[in-house]
């Protein structure tokens, strides 16, 4: 039976990427050595990381002055590494609270300076993106979370900011074209749209660094990794390799503009079923619905069918659809690598379930 992987992360990867990665693990480019045992200082891996960096620069259309780093520790490390590098004690950073991960970033930043929460949707269980807040010009940066995996909301337009934007793009990185120039720092865990868990991409505007007066451990100083081209210590070789293959795949497809069209088509298909099926309803405000994570529950009066529907999804090879405990119901993560056919399979099952149970 074909499996359709709707997991929120680690998430689906493109089939040709998995095939090529498996070959590399067994015998990298015919050299009779596994990629997993190559020296990270050898010419083979140096070519990999250089190509991965160049592809990010190309696909993101990065202006001069931005550096691409390959780090470890996930977005959770960036929650404190960003303010540690950008915010002095006594200075203020502005944050918008749109979900669990934004809230964790706020908590970490409080250890390094003043945090001003400009807006929050917490009282409505994060089911919308706050808008219309004023961004203080004296803030060192504005922190945003572009997509909220747990609650199924997404920033479809970034606010005009008088200060550099720091953004957690872990779950919608490279899913659409963006203008990088308003951003001072972008970070993204790889395990949604880029590669396996274990590597984090950081894009940082170099002129923002070196302005804090605290001691920065070498491993937590962005300048360390800029100076050493992300090779200060042994990098996560395999996740970077798979990320490079995914970047090649994305470029071959036509880049982020093509990917955005594909993602909009898949999301429209699924949300159409959610909105017209009498057994289901969406949980996020329609104008803020995520193209990456569609969250929905059983409609009023049909709550008792939740476990039965989830059981049917698993029996039909639709994996990873159980919603986060904060929301309940179901969550379909439809990242870049998710084919339209898999989304159609879910919509078809929802429709069939409604015919039988409605």
How many structural domains does the chain have?
A: 2
Any domain includes 5? no
- Do 206 and 309 share a domain, yes or no? no
**How high is the pLDDT of residue 2?**
87
The pTM (predicted TM-score) of the whole model is 0.97
- Do 229 and 275 share a domain, yes or no? no
User: Distance (Å, rounded) from C-alpha 248 to C-alpha 129?
Assistant: 33
- Do 162 and 268 share a domain, yes or no? no
Any domain includes 4? no
- Do 97 and 157 share a domain, yes or no? yes
**How high is the pLDDT of residue 103?**
98
Q: Which residue segment(s) compose the domain that 50 sits in?
A: 15-253
User: In DSSP terms, which residues pair with 70 in a beta bridge?
Assistant: 201
Tokens of 240: 């970077």
- Do 111 and 215 share a domain, yes or no? yes
Q: Give the pLDDT of the chain (358 residues) as one tens digit per residue.
A: 889 999 999 999 999 999 999 999 999 999 999 999 999 999 999 999 999 999 999 999 999 999 999 999 999 999 999 999 999 999 999 999 999 999 999 999 999 999 999 999 999 999 999 999 999 999 999 999 999 999 999 999 999 999 999 999 999 999 999 999 999 999 999 999 999 999 999 999 999 999 999 999 999 999 999 999 999 999 999 999 999 999 999 999 999 999 999 999 999 999 999 999 999 999 999 999 999 999 999 999 999 999 999 999 999 999 999 999 989 999 999 999 999 999 999 999 999 999 998 7
User: Distance (Å, rounded) from C-alpha 259 to C-alpha 6?
Assistant: 18
> Of 234, 253, 272, which residue sits at a domain end?
253
- Do 55 and 165 share a domain, yes or no? yes
140 as an active site residue: the answer is: no
- Do 267 and 191 share a domain, yes or no? no
**How high is the pLDDT of residue 1?**
81
- Do 305 and 193 share a domain, yes or no? no
168 as an active site residue: the answer is: yes
> Of 253, 277, 311, which residue sits at a domain end?
253
- Do 126 and 204 share a domain, yes or no? yes
User: Distance (Å, rounded) from C-alpha 208 to C-alpha 319?
Assistant: 43
CA–CA distances in Å: residue 311 to residues 3, 166, 319, 320:
14, 40, 10, 11
Any domain includes 10? no
- Do 66 and 199 share a domain, yes or no? yes
- Do 123 and 240 share a domain, yes or no? yes
Catalytic residue among 101, 266, 288, 322: 101
**How high is the pLDDT of residue 358?**
76
Looking up residue 141, the CATH number of its domain turns out to be 3.40.640.10
Looking up residue 281, the CATH number of its domain turns out to be 3.90.1150.10
**How high is the pLDDT of residue 99?**
97
- Do 197 and 92 share a domain, yes or no? yes
Catalytic residue among 97, 140, 172, 192: 192
192 as an active site residue: the answer is: yes
């Amino acid at each position: 039976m074909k499996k359709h992987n709707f997991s929120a992360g680690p998430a689906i990867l493109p089939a040709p990427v998995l095939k090529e990665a498996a070959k590399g693990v067994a015998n990298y480019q015919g050299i009779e050595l596994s990629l997993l045992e190559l020296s990270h200082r050898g010419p083979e891996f140096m070519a990999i990381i250089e190509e991965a960096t160049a592809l990010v620069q190309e696909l993101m259309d990065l202006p001069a002055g931005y550096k691409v780093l390959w780090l470890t520790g996930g977005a959770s490390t960036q929650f404190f590494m960003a303010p540690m590098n950008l915010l002095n004690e006594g200075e203020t950073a502005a944050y918008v609270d749109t979900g669990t991960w934004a809230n964790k970033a706020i908590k970490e930043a409080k250890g390094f300076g003043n945090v001003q929460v400009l807006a929050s949707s917490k009282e409505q269980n994060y089911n919308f993106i706050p808008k219309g807040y004023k961004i203080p010009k004296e803030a060192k940066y504005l922190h945003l979370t572009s997509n909220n995996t747990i609650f199924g909301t997404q920033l479809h337009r970034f606010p005009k900011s008088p200060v550099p934007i720091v953004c957690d793009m872990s779950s919608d990185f490279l899913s659409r074209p963006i203008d990088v120039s308003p951003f001072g720092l972008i970070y993204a865990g790889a395990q949604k749209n880029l590669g396996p868990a274990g590597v984090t991409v950081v894009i940082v505007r170099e002129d923002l660094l070196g302005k804090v007066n605290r001691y920065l451990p070498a491993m937590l100083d962005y300048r360390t990794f800029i100076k050493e081209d992300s090779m200060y210590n042994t990098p996560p070789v395999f996740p970077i390799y798979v990320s490079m293959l995914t970047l090649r795949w994305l470029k071959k497809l036509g880049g982020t503009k093509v990917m955005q069209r594909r993602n909009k088509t898949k999301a429209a298909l699924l949300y159409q079923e959610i909105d017209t099926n009498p057994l289901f309803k969406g949980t996020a405000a329609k104008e803020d619905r995520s193209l990456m994570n569609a969250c929905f529950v059983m409609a009023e009066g049909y709550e008792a069918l939740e476990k039965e529907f989830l059981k049917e999804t698993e029996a039909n090879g639709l994996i990873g659809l159980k919603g986060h405990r904060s929301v309940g119901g179901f969550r379909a993560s439809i990242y870049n690598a998710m084919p339209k056919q898999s989304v159609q399979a879910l919509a078809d099952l929802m429709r069939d379930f409604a015919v039988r149970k409605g």
